[in-house]
A and B are shown apart, each in its own frame.
Chain A
């Protein structure tokens, strides 16, 4: 049989059909058998993100078949268009160029499809180097694989990441819940709204926010907007008069990324293809370490934490997120995050007081669904508990997580 496009596509179609049939008939059995052999290795390799190896394997098989199906459908469409253009004399001579652009569009559709699967992100994952986007996407794709357990989503920025150990929570609460930490560095009010919408929380989810003044005052990093912004989020920013506080470059990057998935995922692809994360492209100019002078650093940083139009925009965005979560029948837990005592001493008391009043007042949005865990619920950290002005050290993280686990267990027991 000659190898032609038509034959190749037909063969792929047949193989796919067989694949789907096989999955329907014996997918569960194959998943269980593989999970029995590889389950522990998977859990170890997954670094705490794999809730159920059987579900994980089954879902990956579905994803691979789905990606292959989309690829074949796109190839069929391209083949049809290829033939169709021959019948249009005006553009016949530009067929190659036109099909090149159409092919690029098809590649983006395929990449966009892949972007919704954990399989794609696992291929891009580099265990030697952390990529926040890859890690987030893997976790997001795995959110639905926690079985019947209630989902706990920890949302925030690096403060939440360094204060709460999801693996530790899962070890203690694994029977009744599955906890996933969905943080992005530098995330602030509007960023959290963008992330919250991207995550698609479901009814019954418990969403935990661990946030401090730095999430609502001072300058934004723009990372979240650059990677996650959707057109609807952009309109929300316009509606909330937030455009002056968002970097135009980040907006361009975000919206371009939503239009061109290949562009949106360029950093992980570059990291994988060119081993770019391994390649140093900047020099560490920090002086060899003297212990950092926290007081001096706090003195420099605190004045930038102001209550102004930017902070109002961040607060309004976050309130919008809380309201959307309430509307989706999620349970919200708010925890005011801890800051280094040096930073608290240098911070304008009006800023700290205003934040406290506002954050505590969020409970009024829905007194049933929104719970505030005030400082009295946790230990009071001292200077020795921090690595820097905003992040706990490992011991403090363990202690805080242990206390939070206990509280979450109570919430789960109450909720059923």
Chain B
């Protein structure tokens, strides 16, 4: 069930009604049942998979806690990694690697009819495997003790607001909240409701409206434009994916707050930054920090000199791209992001500057103009990356590379006139940028003046009712 559906509203009403009446331990049990019900609503066949990976990681961590022999600890850790990545690899990447391997053999003149399987991708598998894996890694590293209560652990893994599309919560952040009794204050409820409203606005108004334009632009085999109006389609998709994903995160955080949980902030102002490192500190923060802590740093991070740093950056971003989807376009997107990060490092090294981040205020009018120009330029670089990303999801009858090529050929041709799409893209994109600019304000909703609260709520509800798309759209990140 998607968050923007009637059946979910009914589900939520029942869950919250029970939740507020139950004592702490029963709350956790109820949450586990509700979360499994929520997940099973998509496809009950994959409940077993969720249970299996949860079970493996629970016991691996329990044994890791007791085990002192290094080889045994490594074996337990390897088991957890193998199971989680194996499951992820099988369901998500089997066909991709089989087909890619076949193509490689074919290019050497060898024929290989490798089997491909009609495998359904379990919902949220990329999210909950990473979440669960981070737990066992942290136990292995001694950062936290293994959870002994299976219900608390299951509640941590399967907590329905974040189960299918994040944020990817670390055990040290979420497990204590599961274990300890939760108090829900009025400010949390107010902010939770506002975050849900804001999330719904981002999803059904910004994302789904612009999604119609992006679908029209991308899913016909080539860009419909012959000139730089193609940028409008990239803008549309850029704001669509922002609205869709950050909207989901807002709703997840809002729902969690209603139950006394605090989930991490997953999006800040990713389109108001002027460099790639800042982008990744603002976009899908839970994934980027996961990749940093469990991939980049273990590879060596920036401790081994420039070349090794570049290698680590590229590997991390390549795998980050692959995480999003089993396709060359996603790999290309990851590669592109890696190249941007490497170029940024090179630039800093060449200019001798400390890395200027968009978190730091610009100095003087020229500085502000320069920063604004940097933001605009970097936004367009980000949009070029989104071209690769979106090409990865065009209908199978079209060639992803043809779509990319058609866009790249037209983006630089000055338009004779602006397309009719400019108005909705500008208006809805402007709303998205405004929300990014004031992204921290949402978490302080309880501190706003009552007048501002009332105006914002009434405006959000009216906008959702009048401009929202309600005809069965799902969230983009559900496919990851």
Contact = CB atoms under 8 A, between A and B. Distances in A.
Interface stretch (A94-102, A174-182, A301-309, A394-402): A94-102
A17 B164 CA distance: 57
A273 B453 contact: no
A276 interface: yes
B448 A281 contact: no
A93 interface: yes
Contact of A262 (B186, B212, B465): B465
Interface string A252-285: 1100000010110110011001111011111100
Contact of B420 (A94, A103, A275): A275
B467 A96 contact: no
B457 A100 contact: yes
A104 interface: yes
B412 to A, nearest CB: 23
A108 B464 CA distance: 13
Interface stretch (B41-49, B343-351, B421-429): B421-429
B457 A103 contact: yes
B171 to A, nearest CB: 33
A283 B216 contact: yes
B462 A281 contact: no
A4 B423 CA distance: 35
- Interface footprint category on B: 35 or more
Contacts of A70: none
A107 interface: yes
Contacts of B462: 104, 107, 262
Interface residues of A, number: 33
Nearest to A281: B212
Contacts of A94: 186, 190
Contact of A274 (B427, B454, B455, B456): B427
Interface string A75-111: 0000000000000000001111101110110111000
A282 B420 CA distance: 14
Contacts of B353: none
A279 B212 CA distance: 10
Contact of A278 (B190, B193, B420, B470): B420
Contacts of B416: none
B366 interface: no
Interface of A: 93-97, 99-101, 103-104, 106-108, 249, 252-253, 260, 262-263, 265-266, 269-270, 273-276, 278-283
Interface of B: 6, 186, 190, 193-194, 209, 212-213, 215-216, 220, 224, 420-421, 423-424, 427-428, 448-458, 460-462, 465-468, 470-471
Given A97-B453, A99-B458, 19 more contacts: A96-B449, A96-B451, A96-B452, A97-B190, A97-B454, A97-B457, A99-B454, A100-B458, A101-B461, A104-B458, A104-B465, A262-B462, A263-B465, A265-B466, A273-B466, A273-B467, A274-B209, A279-B420, A283-B216
Minimum-distance CB pairs A-B, first 3? A100-B457, A96-B453, A103-B458
